[in-house]
Amino acid sequence: MASIPLRHGIFLPPFHPMDENPAACIDRDLELMQWLDRLGFHEAWIGEHHSAGWEIISSPELFIAVAAERTRSLRFGTGVISLPYHNPLMVANRIIQLDHHTRGRVMFGAGPGLLASDALMLGIDPMTQRDRMAEALDVILRLFRGEIVNEKTDWYTLVNARAHIPPYTKPFPEVAVVSAVTPSGGRLAGKYGLSMICVAATNPFGFDALGSNWQIANDIAAENGQVMDPARLRLVGPLHIAETREQAFANVRFGFQRYIDYLNNNQVRFKVPPGQDAAQWFVENKFGVIGTPDDAIEMIERLYAKQGQFGAFLHQAHNWADWEQTKRSYELYARFVMPHFSGDNQARIESYDWCTAHLDELSEKRAGAARAMFDKHEAEQQAKRSGAQTARPQKGKEAF
């Protein structure tokens, strides 16, 4: 069991095939939030996308506002707002408003924007996105702190700009930046002492970069008088679990190939050899898990061995399996994977093992106690029978 309690959540892009009703897909995403809340998951991060067909939430803030009304304790993060697409004052004000709506259950995740097709529709050169993200993030943090900002760049102008109201969360909501393979996320996290979300932690390339990106963040943090907190480091990975591996692989035949096809359609990520089963190849190359709760535990322990301490594991939410099997996967995770890392069953296990070790002694004491009760009962009955023969009547002439 790690010294930092492990939290559990999801990272929802979302992925939805194009033959389904989009309104029903979004409703199902909201139902998933309620399901996770009931199961005891800790957080959900919601993405922003505007093109490519599958990822159909364009405003994570709107989705979170609805989901927060339907849940009790689940925390929500923007995963992420693509900062180059927005005026930073507008982003700051929307997050602050959402912080008030949710009474502090919102987290602000920021990124440069993943899909080049989104940027091109907005006339943005993808080569500028990381620099623009850094510019916007600096302004948003200043606005969160209540500063007045005057700033002119080649893509926004702010004149005596300030947030209309202060954040509900003091001093402001948790702020996270995404990191995949490049060091840009780690550099920003270190500069400002922010949280990090490693969105490709189980991808072989992202896995290899885990240690170096975290080290970059720590080095930059030290240069800027900041300290990185591993409890605010989140690792993302895809998985689907069932009672058996065979059942899990049968489940994902529903939608796994379409998932691979979509991700390769915007940028080639998975080069499955011709004739090889895509799901088997995916698991064999350690991109994610299709298996049992034990396989999920093994994957997370592998992340610990590579990264060291971290604060949360986030499922990359998907539609590999149908809806009922997807819910079942999350349920099995909550029942068997979460308590493995929390240690919630440790005292129960120790108590059970102690009883096993003292079985003979406990059995003898229980049997002895039972025999004593029988002996006591028989003695009392014998005394009553003896007393009935010798007792003097209390009334009538027989009493004299």
Residues 149 and 156: their CA atoms lie apart, in Å, by 12
128, burial (CB in 10 Å: exposed 0-12, middle 13-18, buried 19+): middle
Return the exposure string of 344-360: e unless at least 16 CB atoms fall within 10 Å of the residue's CB, then b.
Answer: eeeeeeeeeeeeeeeee
DSSP state of 114: S
> Taking residues 330-355, what's their average pLDDT?
97
Q: Distance of CA 61 to CAs 96, 109, 137, 287, Å?
A: 11, 11, 17, 30
225, burial (CB in 10 Å: exposed 0-12, middle 13-18, buried 19+): exposed
| Residue 390 predicted with pLDDT over 70 | no
pLDDT band at 392 (very low <50, low <70, confident <90, very high): low
pLDDT band at 400 (very low <50, low <70, confident <90, very high): very low
Residues 190 and 199: their CA atoms lie apart, in Å, by 17
> Taking residues 189-214, what's their average pLDDT?
94
Q: What pLDDT sits at residue 347? A: 96
Percent of the chain with pLDDT over 90: 90
Q: What pLDDT sits at residue 227? A: 93
pLDDT band at 386 (very low <50, low <70, confident <90, very high): confident
| Residue 152 predicted with pLDDT over 50 | yes
Amino acid at 120: L
Q: What pLDDT sits at residue 2? A: 72
pLDDT band at 396 (very low <50, low <70, confident <90, very high): low
- Nearest Cα neighbor of 105 from 139, 81, 80, 71 is 71
DSSP letters for 31-78:
HHHHHHHHHT--EEEE----SSSS---S-HHHHHHHHHHT-SS-EEEE
Q: What pLDDT sits at residue 371? A: 92
Residues 168 and 104: their CA atoms lie apart, in Å, by 6
Q: What pLDDT sits at residue 181? A: 82
Q: What pLDDT sits at residue 341? A: 97
| Residue 278 predicted with pLDDT over 90 | yes
Q: What pLDDT sits at residue 180? A: 84
Encode pLDDT of 8-59 as tens digits: 999 999 999 999 999 999 999 999 999 999 999 999 999 999 999 999 999 9
| Residue 215 predicted with pLDDT over 80 | yes
Q: What is the mean pLDDT of the chain?
A: 95
- Torsion-angle region of 348 (φ positive above 0: left; ψ -120 to 50: alpha; else: beta): alpha
Instruction: Give me Rg for the CA atoms of the chain.
Output: 30
Q: Are 241 and 296 in contact (CB under 8 A)?
A: yes
> Taking residues 245-263, what's their average pLDDT?
97
Residues 115 and 272: their CA atoms lie apart, in Å, by 22
Return the exposure string of 36-49: e unless at least 16 CB atoms fall within 10 Å of the residue's CB, then b.
Answer: bbebebbbbbbbbb
Residues 306 and 76: their CA atoms lie apart, in Å, by 27
Q: What pLDDT sits at residue 219? A: 96
| Residue 399 predicted with pLDDT over 90 | no
Q: What pLDDT sits at residue 388? A: 59
| Residue 211 predicted with pLDDT over 90 | no
Which pair of tokens denotes residue 71?
Answer: 């849940």
H helix intervals, the chain: 22-39, 60-69, 88-101, 116-121, 129-144, 184-192, 204-223, 245-252, 256-266, 278-284, 293-307, 323-332, 338-342, 346-357, 359-390
Percent of the chain with pLDDT over 70: 96
Q: Distance of CA 180 to CAs 112, 177, 184, 344, Å?
A: 12, 10, 9, 32
> Taking residues 323-345, what's their average pLDDT?
97
Residue 161: enclosing H or E segment and its boundaries? strand 157-161
> Which CATH superfamily, name and number, covers 7-79+174-346?
Luciferase-like domain (3.20.20.30)
Residues 265 and 116: their CA atoms lie apart, in Å, by 12
Residues 114 and 109: their CA atoms lie apart, in Å, by 13
